[in-house]
A and B are shown apart, each in its own frame.
Chain A
Amino acid sequence: MHRKIEGTYLLFNIISYSIVIVAVILCLLPFEMLVSGSFTSESAITQHGYGIIPTEFSLQAYKVLFKYPQDIIRAYGVSIFITVIGTAIGLFVTSMTAYVLNRKDFLYRNKLAFFFYFTTLFNGGILSLYIFFVKYLHLKNSLLSLILPLLINVFYLIVMRTFISSIPDSISESAKIDGAGDFTIFLKLILPLTKPGLATIGLFYALEYWNDWYNAMLFITDIKLYPLQYLLFSTLQSSEAISRISSIASVASLDVPTLSLKLAMAVIATGPIILVYPYVQKYFVKGLTVGAIKG
């Protein structure tokens, strides 16, 4: 009997480890191929195609990219700017609103919650947003058009509200008796107590801003305002961007390694995320396990 259980456990382990290992490989392989392709010489790619290991090692793509890296540095600047500003404001506004929605003594809280929730049920679509932003607010080619659309996310608001609801009401009540105003309670008591929540939501916002290319595609036509992901996207889409890089890097366009250059761009755009994700991942896991189940 006992041996039988051991036997099935072994079988289970074989199945589970092999499936998880396959999943891990599938998750890593595309990244590996991307990096390997970016280090492969152009002629090797056109001859043999992208491989898992570089057939002919070459730094040409990176050399061209870093010769005159203005576009990339500027795009990094735009991405960092919108990520920092957007996350900070978004986090503040979201947590403040979540706090209000959670206050039991706020009479209209359910109505207000529905007021927010309704926007996820029904919306005017990108078309109306586009016309409103461009024609009425004149936000074309303005960084505001990259920040505003992502600034408040109703799903994160709900998650944040779940976090705040786990704080006992007695804390804010006793502070109120001591004469603290609503803002003081929020800033001095609620915010410090919801740090895991803030971290999770903040990461969500940051990730959204960092990975955004969509709003840039809608609202930005000036290459000086391209965020990183959109610069990458447009590089992939058009040879125009490639020839622009080659013209400022003053290389003859024939020498430009178009294929590996695109991959090198992708590596540069992915880099920072890969570097920070091991550190932020544990906050996500923590936040998701608390917030998502109830939310």
Chain B
Amino acid sequence: MTQWKHKHLLGLQDLTAEDIELVLDTARSFKEVSSRDIKKVPALRGKTVVMLFFEPSTRTRISFELAAKRLSADTLNIAVSVSSTTKGETLLDTARNIEAMNVDLMVVRHGTSGSPFILAQGLKCSVVNAGDGCREHPTQALLDLFTLKEKFGRIKGLRVGIVGDILHSRVARSNIWGLTKLGAKVTVCGPATLMPRGIEAMGVEVCYDIRKLIKNSDALITLRLQKERQQDKFLPSLREYGRLFGINREKLAEGSSDLIVMHPGPTNRGVELSAEVADGKQSVILDQVTNGVAVRMAVLYLVLGTKPGTEG
């Protein structure tokens, strides 16, 4: 079995297929822990995990916090509003002040791409990226991979469509890295104005026809559409977005009945997904939430289990 050799988890771009498989295998055993009566193991007793969130995200934070607690770690929540960071106080200053309280790991969410990378270079503790700008959201992708593997028994050869605002999506990027490394065929689909230039370089195909995508996919990862995108003029209207790229029962009927629909949540019902699809039997949205805790337990466990000083 492969060994985990990373001090941080900054993104899936930096991981090998073996690294990813190791996380998924580890998560499987932790999922079993979560189904027990006493949902706690002593793996990280005495360790302190800080949730450093520069951008609010209740779902991700709670999932990480629960994961840390089930591993018996002490947790601390720090929410920093970026606007309150005064001039002269750099990102690194803020983090170093927290690190000085002898913490072992920081789970970082930041609106600027690359922030966890900068922190990992300047801190002694481990850093886990909980989403940075439009770059990566590795644990979300890992839980998506876990869910896919649970449903299909494999990733290799799966045809996965990622639908929505690819331009601004860290979930899309992390999933593309992870899925392609594990041998899935990825197609991205969304409005041309929200399709980043040069995305094909990541090894994906681009498609603008959701019906065609549905016919040719085993799974769809739908992305949350930020309502501001309409104000930014990326879209004529949310209604038109829904018509072209939203998934409803009628469109879904054109695909395989085994096709599964995923979403990182929270959904804009009636925009990305109709309510009947979100709650329907092809939706695995709640499984994703459950699996999120197991995957994050695996990540915290692996990252903190390594000896300090090893390669990031």
A binds B: no
